[in-house]
Amino acid sequence: MGAWELLLVGVVLLLGLSGVLVPGAPGSWLVWAAVLWWAFEDPRALSWGVLVGATAVLFLAQVIRWRLPPRRLRASGATPRMAAYAGVGALLGFFLLPVLGAIPGYIGGAYLAERLRLGGPGEAKASVRSVMRAGGTSVLVELFACLLIAGAWLGAVIWGS
């Protein structure tokens, strides 16, 4: 697989990661489709292993999401700005504190957005708690699964070269 094709797969992965944060967008499907595309274009045991792992992780994430309460983010006061801050925080946390840093990064990003919007730490903390109860946890589970898949793909591309 050439460098341009790998770059395009990476772009689709990034679109999928950002799509997780947008209500109604098929973010996790885009992430899975990017890995599927890569596995078909570069048919090796490593790429097929990443595809099988990605399928299992997304299935597990869906099972966990089905066990959580339904999403009611709009009613809780979640804003697109909060989603953007939370997503960037999760991405930074994922790489700064490998893998598990995505969780505090997501919550920290949401808190920063609310702190800038509302001003006080008490109001921001209450708002983030409300959003996480109303569906933010569901978004976090899906985003974390997609970040795991993107990280596995990146590691496989670097290691498999």
Residues 78-111 have pLDDT tens digits of 788 988 999 999 999 988 998 889 999 999 999 9
Name 26's Cβ contacts closer than 8 Å, sequence gap at least 6: 16, 19
Name 5's Cβ contacts closer than 8 Å, sequence gap at least 6: 41
Distance CA 116, CA 128 (A): 12
Query: pTM (2 decimals)?
Result: 0.86
Which residue has better confidence, 24 or 129?
A: 129
With a pLDDT cut of 90, the percent of the chain lying above it is 64
Residues 48-66 have pLDDT tens digits of 999 999 999 999 999 998 8
- Quote the pLDDT of residue 22: 83
Distance CA 46, CA 31 (A): 17
Give the single-character DSSP code of 44: S
pLDDT of residue 76 exceeding 80: no
Average pLDDT in the chain: 90
Amino acid at 128: V
Residues 109-130 have pLDDT tens digits of 999 999 999 988 999 999 888 8
Q: Which long-range contacts (CB under 8 A, 24 or more apart) does 154-159 make?
A: 154/10, 156/46, 156/47, 156/49, 156/50, 157/6, 157/38, 159/46
- Biggest alpha carbon distance in the chain? 53
Residue 88, phi then psi, degrees to nearest 5:
-65, -40
pLDDT of residue 73 exceeding 70: no
